[in-house]
Amino acid sequence: MALASSWYSFVDPSVQARVLWYTGCAALGRAWIATDVFRLAGPERSRLRPIAWVFGTFGVILLWRWLWSAMGPPMAGFLAAGFIHGLTLLTYVGFVLFKDLALLDATVSRLIAETRHLADTDPLAGLANRRVAMGCGQAWLDRARQAGSSLGVILLDVDHFKSINDQYGHAAGDDVLVAVARVLECLVPPGGLAARVGGEEFLLLLPDTALEEAARLAESARLALHHLEPSDSRRLDLSASFGVTMATGHVAIDTAIAQADRALLTAKASGRDQVFVVPADGGAGSGNNLLSFSGSLG
């Protein structure tokens, strides 16, 4: 466009040719940007869609100007260019304003989303943090009260985690926590939540889940951890202790977690690497695997 502008200014002066070159290149550029933005996927698309509309609209106006200029009589100068060219200049001012406002809005929206994600996510494990888990758990319990359903609650703690840090270093300990988080993410069914609520303590919330089903999932997680290897492929003989309960809508989420914690402490006191169950009424069921307390989960 710069070369064409120089050519039609000094070698072969032509106002009309310069207008056509500038308008055509500008229209193509804005159409390219609008199309590129519209093709984005995920949350970025919705945030940047106003920018795409601004670029697309101005591209249409530029195309109109190009057609008007191409089919009209030769122009003696820019001051005598006519209505369409004056409208284009005014539209350009609006385009710059709306483009900047749309870009600012998209940037602020992205920063808010990223800040919310950082506030809601455990930075190491990549799971929800305790605050999110408590909020979701209470909301699900309130919903369970209306629907007459229940919420499965599983609390687990990695066994002998301090010895892993002491023997292999804190980096190895971090690898273990990340690997455990990935296992839990795979096991939690859609609609459930896995969260890291302490140093080596994790919480699973399972809406509309019976006690026996929650205990079965906890046993699957316990067995999966036996075969887990951290990212450096070091064999650590990992295990975890589990406390399981079923909460109904008439209890608060912290009460339900306290019940699961009581079962978890019992599992640790009984030798670790076990799943213990506390029924919703606060009674106790126990065992070292699903078969040992099968049939007594309620």
Residues catalogued as catalytic: 200
Q: Residues 6 or more apart from 63 whose CB is under 8 A from it?
A: 27
Q: Which residue has the tokens 């270093």?
A: 169
How many CA atoms does the CB half-sphere of 13 hold within 13 Å? 5
Q: How far apart are CA 203 and CA 95, in angstroms?
A: 50
Query: Cα angle vertex 196, ends 251, 256, to 5°?
Result: 15
- 83-120 and 130-147 helices, crossing angle to 10°: 90
Q: How many residues does the chain have?
A: 298
Query: Cα angle vertex 271, ends 198, 239, to 5°?
Result: 55
Let me know: does 189 contact 126? Beta carbons within 8 Å: no
